[in-house]
Structure 1
Amino acid sequence: MRVITRFYVKELDTAIGRMAVVTSDKGLAHVTFGAVNKVNLTARLMRFGLKPEWYDLKEDESLLVCDQLTEYLNGERQDFDVPIDLIGTPFQKKVWSALRTIGYGETKSYKDIAEMIGAPKAVRAVGGANNQNPLPIVIPCHRVIGSNGAMVGYGGGLPTKERLLALESKMKIS
């Protein structure tokens, strides 16, 4: 049985281009670079027993997360304090929780994350969970790099990852 869940979509223009946020009644559920692909997102949510109903947020409704994303991308914010509705497997949630401990302006490797969650041989699985992160920037998967220090994969593209890391390096408050 699938649980009918309301999801609300808002697109916004940011310093790194068009983004979209998706919230549920529980909190922020998804952030995308560009527009939301509702077909793909519906399929993902249905794998977790949810049947999404889609709604657009009206222009006059303010979303705290939109404000916080804008502040972050303008170098005015380092942390997010919005409620989140994290939808994923227990392993993914464990990885995403570890990602949230990576400080602003810092980086960790996939191997570091695997060790943090007590699964040192699960480096590839950590990479897969990182790739499925539904809340890029808010859950800072851009702070994960290769063991050799190389920039590797990012859903928003490597130039975006490099830009986010450069922003954090420049704006880090010690």
Structure 2
Amino acid sequence: MAHTDLQHVTLIGCGLIGTSIALALNSAGVDVSLDDMDPEAVARARELGAGSVLLPDSPPADLVVIATAPHAVVDVLYEAQACGRGRAYTDVAPGKRRIWEEAQMRGCDLWGYLPGRPLVPKPADMPADPSADHFAGRPWLLFPYPLVEPDALDAVDRLITLCRGRRTDMSLEAEPVA
């Protein structure tokens, strides 16, 4: 597999998980553009050093990471693809089978989209603040399928490596319950 050097990542969703991903990427030298429906969430992520604000005329990113609530993933994916935000797309929400089925029905480009999900502690056991080390040594589930573009698979694999997670491939049907 060819090595993809992630130079620019767009991260949509600046909560604990999204900001932790952005901090890990930024600390690895990746240029990260941040977006969220809540401008205060973007401001907090910027204050922590997670990246800069996504501009309307930003060029397509090597990878777009969707770190929103599960119910919003498909809408955000569809809109990001329609705007040409990136060359490859992933998300980090649980409930992959439902998200996949909704993305198919919505008409999302599934060849450039690779569902993923880092396994994190239960909310009561999670740190209160975002951290670049949040995923270090933790399993990160990937749900590759036969038609996924190799470049998308490589980009998401590189994301996991830069976040210091442990990649674990599985089928959508085998996803553990959140």
TM-score normalised per structure 1: 0.28
Mark the structure with the bigger radius of gyration: 1
Q: RCO higher in 1 or 2 (8 Å CA, sep ≥ 6)?
A: 2
TM-score normalised per structure 2: 0.28
